Structure 1
Amino acid sequence: MHGTLPQADRGRRSAPRETRLPLTLRLALRELRGGLSGFVVFLACIAIGVAAIAGVASISRSLTDGLGREGRRILGGDLTYSLINRSATPAERAVLEAQGPVSVVTTLRAMALAGDKGAALVELKAVDATYPATGDLVTDPAVPLATLLAERDGAYGAVADPVLLTRLDLKVGDRVSIAGKPVAIRATLVSEPDKIANGIGFGPRVLISDAALAETGLVQPGSLNRWSYRLQLPGVPDAELERRTAAIAKAAPEAGWEMRSRTNADPRFARSIERFTQFLTLVGLTALIVGGVGVANAVHAFVERKRGSIATLKSVGAPGGQVVRLYLTQVMLIAGLGTAIGLAVGAGLPFLLDAFFRADLPLPLNPTLAPAELALAAAYGLLTALAFAIVPLGRAHDVPVSGLFRDVVDRSGARTRLRYRLILAAALAALVGLAVVTAFDKRVALVFIAAAGLAFGLLRLVALGLMALARRLPRPRTAAPRLALANLHRPGALTPSIVLSLGLGVTLLVTLSLIDANVRQTLTSSLPARAPNLFFLDIPASEADGFHAFLGRAASNAKIERVPMMRGRITALNGVPAAEIKPPEDAAWVLDGDRGITYSADLPEGSSLIAGSWWNAEEGRAALVSFDSELARALKLEVGSTVRVNVLGRELTARIANLRKVEWRSLGINFVMVFSPGTFRGAPHSDLATLTLPNGPDAGIEAGILRDVARAFPSVTSVRVKDALDAVNDIVGKLVLAIRGASAVAVVASLFVLAGALAAGHRSRLYDAVVLKTLGATRRRLLTAYLLEYGALGLATALFGLAAGTLAAFVIVTRVMRLEFSLDLSGAFVAAALAVVFAVVLGLAGTWRILGQKPAPYLRQF
């Protein structure tokens, strides 16, 4: 027996050690076995907000990956060098060809004339025999491109967008005239692999051969043509690609071309995706923050329901901190479930888009899981849940057991402990930090955060003010109004929750309604009344006087303006190369690519001097430039600064003589840079002209002028302003639709919050209804009281939403979009009225079941 263990000890030693979860987690999981009753709104609010953020981020990443994966196809090569106004010189062409095979694509705008059927602006694309060097061109019928574009029966062939055939009532086999030369339409264009690289077009695409373009005579010195030289370097690694790019830049430093690589096929488009993604992410974050109110309501109701359990735990010795940790663990587990649901929905959105809309998507989409973006969305969801749950949970810490048992109607007003307020502050700081650090434009993110905080603060003040007003108003003699007034300010009133949830939703709806109305009015109503009717581009300088006289005869009472026009690219400011300048986002476009420039002896119409003075005849012989004042401020330029530009392959430096404010919204002729006449003396250029009819748009007169100009001056490109505005309006409409869709998420979240707020007040309303019915109150009288209460809350909130939404829309329209603001409240009033109706209907619907309960069981319970 000596040296042996007792039987019990041997059993303890040999038994495997049981892994036990922490007590708090075990208790939280045990309580969750009863289900998620009361947390439906909680789950919905978290899931909706997280799904919105995760979905937007996942789609953005899929688009970005798609652009990266399809970069070579989008560009039509591995490197693309573009020039405007001129083609590459033999020496420049030799520099490119020394690095690899080169294909050439020329794009320009031209007029297609179909006899008596009219004329139409087209986006002309001239290609060489190697096109497409990468990707697939799809035509109907499916015939080799060389066969379709070849010269046959006295005419070169063309492949046209079906829109052109519809617009001019044509069919495959018909002929049109381009610059006076016949072109036979031999197929329709189904898809082109490099469509995205072409940018926004104002007319249907027409493909022709480079030989056909040369035949038209449209290529003239100074004409607005873009030559794209595409290097085919398949299999060359990215590092080698960078080396060859550096070699080309060193060999032709003054070529002035714009370079793009397959690794960054469309940087402007990628930046646009990032900006729009940030905006939609902030909208999703708005939905999540609005949903946070629902989280707070649900947690508050949860604590009320758990009063007995909390009292029991505290009565057997559980400290307040442990009680809070227990229920915080339970709440965060539920928040984790809601976050997981939102992540699953958001992560699946790119795959759903690709599965159902692949053929209709204009952009390359590479559906993929985005772990970093999903982790960010999860962090937003969990931090929001923590921030809005900690204060309601912390309330139970210091309330005594007796108070918990007695606290049925008159809730304790104990202050939340410092530790819970610090947790709240930390969670809010983390939310703000995430939003700012991950934002593309940190200034926009900070403005959003400030606006959100201001909205919450103002809505809280509105609720407190409404309660204070109700408390001080004289008591009505009639029972129903007196009860409604008391319900607005009594302890545990629904006023703060309803005002906050409904107010945020109404404010958002009103803001979007006014922004939408102002953008559409700017594009479709106010501009055409003041803008020119027609623009005429690529007017050869040798024909400018004859063209001007022709327009005078065609529209004798019209206002006609003309200016010389060239294209130039800013290469340095104050001696600093443009590539090394980091301008603000709203001014970066000035340094990105070629700009239209002109020269003038007089101050252009629609401009006013802000600083400096306009040059006289003697001063105008020097190289001077007038610069847009707002852009100069953004680029830190002033009178006396220098600007270096590349025009037609020639570098020249001009001194800023003055700054001017430009009225861009008139759509008249104006430029960021207007040079003195001596700057470009003798340089080849074309003219730009506008025609403005005295009585505004007239489709019949405009169509006649377009047709006559196409016949008499076939090389001149005519643009009808209304058509251009319609094209832009179509794009804006799609963006507005996307914004509406994302914003609808926030509105849905606010509706869930409203429903949750009403549900949270169910217990106290049930108690009131039972007592009042016992005292003789009828269902009709109680319904009248509740109708007055919810109607007053809805009306007060709607008024706030109208005011706050109008102010927010005004700031966005005038400061961000830089448009004139028009107060069109028709849509805003509809949104506000619907909010009032919804609040009343939802409130009465939740009350109806309460009024049908029999008093006896509840009186015994209470």
Structure 2
Amino acid sequence: MAWRDAKASYKRLSLFMASIVLGIAAVVSIQSFSENLKTNIELQSKSLMGADFIIDSRNPPNEKVQKIIDSLGGADAKEINFASMGLFTKNGGTKLIRVIGMEGAFPFYGDLETTPATAAEKYQESGAALVDATLMLQFNVKPGDSIKIGNITLPIGGSLDAAPGTGGFSSGIAPPVYIPYRMIEQTGLIQTGSRLEYQYYFVASDNTDLDALDKKLDPILDAEDADMDTHTSTSQQLGRRYDNFGVFLNLVAFIALLLGCVGIASSVHIYVKEKLRAVAVLKCLGATRKQSFLIFLIQIIGMGFLGGLSGSILGIGLQELFPYLLSDMLPFDIETTIYPASVILGIVLGIFMSVMFALIPLLSTWYVSPLRVLRIDESANKKSRKANLVVAGIILVFLYLFSFWLLNNWKYALYFIIGILVTFLILMGITTLFMWAIKKFFPSSWGFISRQSLLNLFRPQNQTMTLILAIGVGTFLISTLYFTKDMLLSKLSFESGENTPNIILMDVQNNQKDAVANTLGHVIDNIPIVTMRVHSIKGKPANEIRKDTTSKINEWVLNHEFRVTYRDSLIGSESLASGTWIPEETYDGVNPVSISIAESISRDALLEVGDTITFNVQGVLMTTKVANIRTVDWGRMQLNFSIVFPKGILENAPQFNVLSTHASDEKSSAKLQSELIQKYPNISIIDFRQVLVLIEKVLNKISWVINFMAIFSIFTGIIVLIGAVRTSKFQRIKENVLLRTLGATSKQILKITALEYLYLGVLGSLSGILLSLMSAQILAYFIFDLTFLPSSFPFLVLFPGITILVLSIGLMNSRSVLNSPPLQVLRKENAG
């Protein structure tokens, strides 16, 4: 019976199936790609690092660290790297670069890809430089040209196309340049304030247990301000980083799937409602509740299976796009394979979600009375209402469990479900309020076409609620993502006034600062910086805290080399959270020095006002006490500090300076940088304009990928829209028969239909955008702590675009209803 009825209604049932295909495809593609990503990271982990494990430090290895290196057979290769300025002698172009001095046959896994290929083998012996390929294109230099780094000028041996450990956002700011290790000293760039990183690469024997070695040596090295990373631990960190992004995309895909399920519930509701008289006839002929219920349940299971299978196949094909979409964000090439588990997940999800969301309308077949043949009873009995509540509860529990599986955090899963429910409830509330307002304040003075189009929004078997949900949620997703990206960019932007710094000069030595200031002409900030490390917190030495497994102090505080400054006032990005600001103080060598700390230090080091912390200031121990805690806006494009001393304490400590100025345009900025680097090669220069361009590119790439997934919600909404029109086709035909009988022309009916979908498009897209404004305002206040100024893009582009799309889809799918002769259509429907 299920098969026979399905054959007669295959068009409607196929639309149920189509409602979830895109949602399933999105979930399966992301799940499958995530598995491929994990496998590729595991397989290529050695190539990503270039060795089996690394020992790295910010300082030259002390005696204890050197003994560990020697006990491991000595490093197979070593490097020293730091940020500095590079000057291309051919055209005077300058750029902040990452200088990598290498000694040894690195990499031991993977390749140092260069053009020409022989440059990777010859650069150390010939004393040449390997320059990032993109950087060479940007400054129009070729192999054979020269690059000046500090006090030395090296020939460019070749372009660096790819290398282990390079790539990502940091390489965009400071592209890598490889030079021989032996030439680092000659650059003259290792001075006070230079942020150096020493790395020692090792190749392990086949029987080496890297996890055991890491567990044994890493705590010892941490105590000596060094660190150990194995290729396995690094791949796990990299995998977790991309897992977080994958989880977010999964949630977006899950929302698309939920939209499809809302379409199923609505379509099945109308479909079953039309079948209730047939069910009553079956019961009159002796069919049991179970039999009549199973007829339709089997149909839904079959459609869920086909939808899940189709979605899984589409998802497997779709995952082939992700390596291209994410190519600029991944440090390696991805080889994709089919994971059976992802296909099984898609099929199970298709069946389970279809059945769950169709169950409430299907329950009406269980409680229908045989007397339905003789009378129309639209009211649901108490048993039916109780059953619906139970099913709704089961749906919520499943959604929560599935979200928990995706997020692996019960709180986040709960927040996600609450967020989805609130979004759906708000959109449902808006729709209900809109229909109530139409009924309450119906414009009886309007013309026939306008009045009839409004009446269609709350006619029997209307699809207003379903379509507003589908259109609204899709629009809400895309608008929220757009507003969030705008907020991030506005938070990172800076003003263009003459007193707003956009050029920062790092590592300016004390004996250079006056001469550099004269070259700049207009100095906005001159900030002294002193480096120091934590020796003890509240009287407990840092080494003891590291060994204390019960300590909740974050280890980065103990291992970090702090760069602190001293001044007598707060700056624009700071505000006092607690305590008293101390502008100036005298150090007597006995009493603790008052300092100001940022909230992040207070939180991670468990410090409050009045607590003491002892610093090692380049060999001299200095005890301080927390005088106040500051709230710092780290997103402001200016120099912010975790720790600030009052004036009168650090003036005589070894220090360097950071100067800032304002360049009116790119040309004057390039000229200034070129002049500075030729006079003071040790100075590093950061051009905020270039940083902002890179940040915007990264945000654009991420938002493009997320929007690509959010489009699934829009397409799912379109399918739900098509399904709603098709499913309510018979109801619309009857309306059109009555309208034509009363004298309405086809043109009038077309206008009525167009206005109806125009209302739906306007209400759905506008509701989504307004809801996204609310969510963006919440994000701005609670997360980004800024004033939210909405962009006009969603209103000028998204709002009319989606409205026109809804109108077009509605008219295209109503065409057969509008053009078919009423008697012919009715005979056909009755015959079916």
Q: TM-score, normalised by structure 2?
A: 0.89
Question: Counterparts of 2:787 and 2:550 in 1: how far apart (Å)?
Answer: 31
Alignment counterpart, residue 486 of structure 1, candidates 438, 451, 455: 455
Note the aligned Cα RMSD (angstroms): 3.5
Match of 1:71 in 2: 45
- CA displacement 1:604-645 (0-9 Å, x = unmatched): 523222112234413696366532225635775422446677
Question: Counterparts of 2:488 and 2:222 in 1: how far apart (Å)?
Answer: 42
Distance 1:859 1:233, change over 3 A: closer
Contact 2:261 2:357 in 1 (8 A): yes
Question: Counterparts of 1:785 and 1:198 in 2: how far apart (Å)?
Answer: 54
Contact 1:275 1:441 in 2 (8 A): no
> Aligned letter for 2:775?
A
Distance 1:805 1:495, change over 3 A: same
Distance 1:350 1:265, change over 3 A: farther
Distance 1:496 1:244, change over 3 A: closer
Moved more, 732-741 or 57-66: 57-66
- CA displacement 1:234-288 (0-9 Å, x = unmatched): 4144xx3233334434655631123322111156543331221121111011101
Distance 1:520 1:682, change over 3 A: closer
Shift of 1:793: 2.8
> What does 1:823-842 align with in structure 2 at a 5 Å threshold?
823-842=790-809
Alignment counterpart, residue 276 of structure 1, candidates 245, 250, 255: 245
Distance 1:271 1:444, change over 3 A: same
> What does 1:140-539 align with in structure 2 at a 5 Å threshold?
140-143=115-118, 145-151=120-126, 156-195=127-166, 200-237=171-208, 240-249=209-218, 252=221, 254-265=223-234, 269-307=238-276, 309-350=278-319, 362-365=331-334, 367-370=336-339, 380-403=349-372, 411-412=378-379, 416-440=384-408, 442-472=410-440, 473-476=442-445, 478-523=447-492, 532-539=501-508
- CA displacement 1:659-711 (0-9 Å, x = unmatched): 10113233221122335689989875543x13232xx6422222122111111
Question: Counterparts of 1:647 and 1:336 in 2: how far apart (Å)?
Answer: 68
Shift of 1:210: 0.5
Task: Find out whether 1:792 has 2:759 as its counterpart.
Answer: yes
Distance 1:667 1:361, change over 3 A: closer
Match of 1:557 in 2: 522
Distance 1:623 1:264, change over 3 A: farther
SS in 1 for 2:367: coil
Question: Counterparts of 1:337 and 1:652 in 2: how far apart (Å)?
Answer: 71
Question: Counterparts of 1:405 and 1:841 in 2: how far apart (Å)?
Answer: 41
Question: Counterparts of 2:97 and 2:22 in 1: how far apart (Å)?
Answer: 45
> What does 1:681-700 align with in structure 2 at a 5 Å threshold?
685-687=655-657, 689-693=658-662, 697-700=664-667
Shift of 1:223: 1.1
Task: Find out whether 1:705 has 2:676 as its counterpart.
Answer: no
Shift of 1:373: 5.8
Question: Counterparts of 2:69 and 2:621 in 1: how far apart (Å)?
Answer: 20
Task: Find out whether 1:605 has 2:571 as its counterpart.
Answer: yes
Task: Find out whether 1:82 has 2:48 as its counterpart.
Answer: no
Question: Counterparts of 2:482 and 2:327 in 1: how far apart (Å)?
Answer: 31
Contact 1:527 1:665 in 2 (8 A): no
Question: Counterparts of 2:121 and 2:399 in 1: how far apart (Å)?
Answer: 58
Contact 2:478 2:707 in 1 (8 A): no
- CA displacement 1:426-445 (0-9 Å, x = unmatched): 12211112202431555444
Contact 2:116 2:159 in 1 (8 A): yes
Contact 2:25 2:315 in 1 (8 A): yes
> Aligned letter for 1:672?
S
SS in 1 for 2:526: strand
Distance 1:352 1:487, change over 3 A: closer
SS in 1 for 2:667: helix
- CA displacement 1:427-484 (0-9 Å, x = unmatched): 2211112202431555444333212101211222222222222222242363222322
> Aligned letter for 2:68?
V
Shift of 1:221: 4.8
Contact 1:288 1:381 in 2 (8 A): no
Contact 1:627 1:658 in 2 (8 A): yes
> Aligned letter for 2:176?
R
Shift of 1:751: 1.5
Question: Counterparts of 1:369 and 1:223 in 2: how far apart (Å)?
Answer: 49
> Aligned letter for 2:307?
G
Distance 1:650 1:602, change over 3 A: same
Contact 1:46 1:381 in 2 (8 A): yes
Moved more, 838-847 or 452-461: 838-847
Distance 1:512 1:194, change over 3 A: closer
Question: Counterparts of 1:73 and 1:854 in 2: how far apart (Å)?
Answer: 69
Moved more, 381-390 or 750-759: 381-390
Distance 1:681 1:530, change over 3 A: closer
Question: Counterparts of 1:197 and 1:477 in 2: how far apart (Å)?
Answer: 61
SS in 2 for 1:80: strand
SS in 2 for 1:113: strand
Shift of 1:502: 1.8
Contact 2:293 2:366 in 1 (8 A): yes
- CA displacement 1:105-163 (0-9 Å, x = unmatched): 22211112234523222221111123223321121112163522334xxxx31111123
Match of 1:7 in 2: none
> Aligned letter for 1:169?
N
Shift of 1:40: 3.1
Shift of 1:364: 4.8
Question: Counterparts of 2:82 and 2:643 in 1: how far apart (Å)?
Answer: 23
The count of residues paired between Structure 1 and Structure 2 equals: 817
Q: TM-score, normalised by structure 1?
A: 0.86
Question: Counterparts of 2:20 and 2:551 in 1: how far apart (Å)?
Answer: 38
Question: Counterparts of 2:780 and 2:747 in 1: how far apart (Å)?
Answer: 47
Task: Find out whether 1:735 has 2:702 as its counterpart.
Answer: yes
Match of 1:747 in 2: 714
Distance 1:282 1:592, change over 3 A: farther
